[in-house]
Amino acid sequence: MPGKVKVIVLAGNGINCEYETAYACTAAGANTVDTVHINELLRGEYAVGNYHLLCLPGGFLDGDDLGAAKACANRFRHATIANTGERFWDQMLHYIERGGLIFGICNGFQLMAKLGLVPALEGGYGEQKITLTFNDSGRFEDRWVHLKVNTASPCVFTKGMEKVYLPVRHGEGKFVAADHSITSQLKKKGLICLQYSDEACREATMEYSLNPNGSFNGVAGICDETGRIFGLMPHPEAYLHRTNHPRWTREELPEEGAGLAFFKNAITYIREHLC
């Protein structure tokens, strides 16, 4: 409906942050937030085209067999929607063409990378150019990190932000590009939205544990050239209120957690451009 922001949040098959993500969308001002199982999408009971924002939350899709989110990426590329016979991938491409937003967090970012939804240079959706692989530490990392925001990025979700403090929790978060030319294009076009940094957030770092996974150039999040499709490894949905902060009893903090800004930016963009 005109003026009504509609969000679809993916669930099922190992996703485990759908409730926090859905709550963040509601708190940010979305009018309708539907949490939908993967199988409901593929049966045609819901269609991404009926929404303005598609959220791909964190978790462990299909147990991360074949690598994080790889099995689901294969499923989404080749699945046919039961009630229509339409390829799910074609539905996704149409959703992107008409201006829809996609927000991938942690496992959702891994899924986007393996589907080729980001960086999709020159509109090349479906061409995998990056991946998120095993952390250099060789273990699961569960800690809070400082992130430098690229203020020159076209990213819709990071508008007005300069730095942010968020938790990470992943075993495969190391950003790797197919070759140096991909990294060069990401830098040139401003598509590197977030980088691991020190507390001052002046520059990216490779220092462990400030950079928890060894991502080259400290890359923590990237977008496509439209700025509407964005993935990051840290978890903004895990910092929506001051009590989510690890030092909330020892520091004076705003009531609203910094992670909510990503969702508010998306909702604002939708109201201004899609409703």
Identify the bridge partners of residue 9 per DSSP, sorted by sequence position. 35, 55
Active site residue 241: no
Of the candidates 52, 146, 170, 235, the residue annotated as catalytic is 235
235 a catalytic residue: yes
Catalytic residue chosen out of the listed positions 55, 72, 106, 201: 106
Report the 3 state secondary structure along 138-155. CCCEEEEEEEEECCCCCC
Closest by CA to 111, choosing from 194, 24, 229, is: 229
* Residue 98: both structure tokens together: 């008409």
Distance CA(119)–CA(13), nearest Å, equals: 25
For residue 147, which of 222, 209, 233, 220 has the smallest C-alpha distance? 220
Tell the burial category of 54 from Cβ atoms under 10 Å away from its Cβ (0-12, 13-18, 19+): buried
Q: Choose, from 20, 141, 225, 237, the residue flagged as catalytic.
A: 237
Does residue 237 carry a catalytic annotation?
A: yes
Please report where in the chains the tokens 């294969």 appear, as a residue. 74
Catalytic site residues?
106, 235, 237
